[in-house]
Structure 1
């Protein structure tokens, strides 16, 4: 009886070791896109607008993104995505769709030099971005919510149909050189509104959770930005003024062109 029990325990141990070995082999063979998909599937499994993943899940996805290189996704700065035939025209931007579902989306923005993604928001969304290569200027803002009593945060427009201007705090206004660590924007902080300007050809891997959805009220809204001093009666010191700007909703810029294409890397398997 003891011999049978010992044989059973030995068999279970061997099976467990084989299972771990097979799992490690599958992970080694797994494509970058598949690994990113499976991580996002876990991180955003129960997501909904405004719900931020747990710190453990944030770190998990950040680690996966940090390890992805331009070679992993088959991109080079000399590819057609990153060139423009007419330098006097605003260059179009290419978005490579990797995957999208109700919980999250994954894709890569390819920007030629001088390409611009205008100032826009991410309502109720957590956004992970990884600059794979190139130099990009990023300017980002958060809405001012808890302000001192003397600070005005909304300015009514004098025009009947023009949107009001709302006060935002500048979070980032700097150049970044890829590859660099992933950045994370949260639903209400971290620079939820941002603008990208390509100093050189560059590529940005983006993960949104949940993705934009007009039927669900998650619209992509674009904004004009104005200096804080452009409003009469401002009440903060000269040095502080550079940290604040007024934002006003606008229509999607007519010259902003994004060409959508499917990512040509290994196919993602859902299971």
Structure 2
């Protein structure tokens, strides 16, 4: 696995600061495969010859290839989620639109729907927090849980009033479940791009959805073609969500993270089109997005994950 996905510590302008994509840097670590990869890959390999129907659902207590995990790990909901994610996303290019994949996603979504902040030993943060400052108090932090070739999993924590800017997930699936607080998610579908340099490319897109999610909401999903670009904002105070991406970001394999902002239409002929980046068409809002560098007011720090261990 590429070592480019490395956990950062929130140093935005200090000696360790690197002006790259903080989401991609936050998600994962150099030792990610050692965190949960060995067990997942061994378990999937041993199950490869099993009956297809049996393979799709993760059991709550059966052995894997004749070996049982320690009971505290075996009964942990986050461990069950990791196991199911390992079955659903076996590696880059493994996911698709087949019946087996759809059933695996349904099972994963069911498990993720049940996760709560207390299951991960995470306490909701208070609304009154120290102000955002460089480099010690970033607006967003990330708790790394595990990563394999097929998926990454962790928790994003947003301070009140902060946002994760509009960004994409090239060729990736995603599943997001709010643990506490409320977030507003705006999802976009990319339609086509026009050349504009390494930064400054115009992308034609549609605003597919804007909705608020809380800990009582079902998981929010994204796919390579639907809701693949999104912006996430904390609403009415701090918020946190579990985040699963498959496969993980990897620039060496064409999966870098790109940031965007709304832009006027290149052929705008009316205030409605030029003022807000798009116009209504066929029941959805068509927009133009401009690719931009990492916004100066956004960076992501790292903090320890306090929850149950996901066995390696």
Q: Do they fold alike, i.e. is TM over 0.5?
A: yes
Q: 1:51 to 1:27 in 2, by over 3 A?
A: farther
Q: Work out whether 1:66 is the aligned partner of 2:113.
A: yes
Matched, 1:183 2:220: yes
Indicate the residue corresponding to 2:78 in structure 1: 33
Residue 105 (structure 1) aligns with: 152
CA distance in 2, matches of 1:238, 1:184: 25
1:117 corresponds, among 149, 158, 164, to 164
Residue from 240, 252, 270 that aligns with 1:215: 252
Supply the distance in 1 between the matched residues of 2:296 and 2:184 (Cα, whole angstroms).
22
| Residue 193 of structure 1, CA deviation | 0.1
Matched, 1:138 2:185: yes
Q: TM-score, normalised by structure 2?
A: 0.66
Segments of 5+ residues of structure 2 without an aligned counterpart are 1-58, 64-69
Supply the RMSD in Å over aligned alpha carbons: 3.3
The equivalent of 1:16 in structure 2 is none
CA separation of 1:180 and 1:169: change in aligned 2, threshold 3 A: same
Alignment partner of 2:110: what SS?
helix
Task: Specify the structure having the higher radius of gyration (Cα).
Answer: 1
By how many angstroms is 1:253 displaced? Answer: 1.2
Mapping for residues 1-271 of structure 1, pairs under 5 Å: 23=62, 26=71, 30-48=75-93, 51=96, 54-78=101-125, 84-86=129-131, 92-144=139-191, 163-189=200-226, 191-199=227-235, 200-226=237-263, 228=265, 231-233=267-269, 239-240=280-281, 243-270=285-312
Q: Give unpaired runs (5+ residues) of structure 1.
A: 1-19, 146-153
Alignment TM-score, normalising by the size of structure 1:
0.76
Contact kept, 8 Å, 2:73 with 2:308, in 1: the verdict is: no
Task: Quote how far apart the aligned CAs of 1:74 are.
Answer: 1.5
> How far off its partner does 1:88 sit?
9.2
Deviates most, 70-79 or 42-51 = 42-51
Q: For residues 187-220 of structure 1, what are the alpha-carbon distances to aligned partners after superposition, in whole Å with 9 as ceiling and x for unaligned?
A: 111x100001101211110001100012212100
Aligned 8 A contact 1:32 1:73 in 2: no
Against the structure 1 CA distance between its residues 185 and 98, is the aligned structure 2 distance closer, same or farther, given a 3 Å change threshold?
same
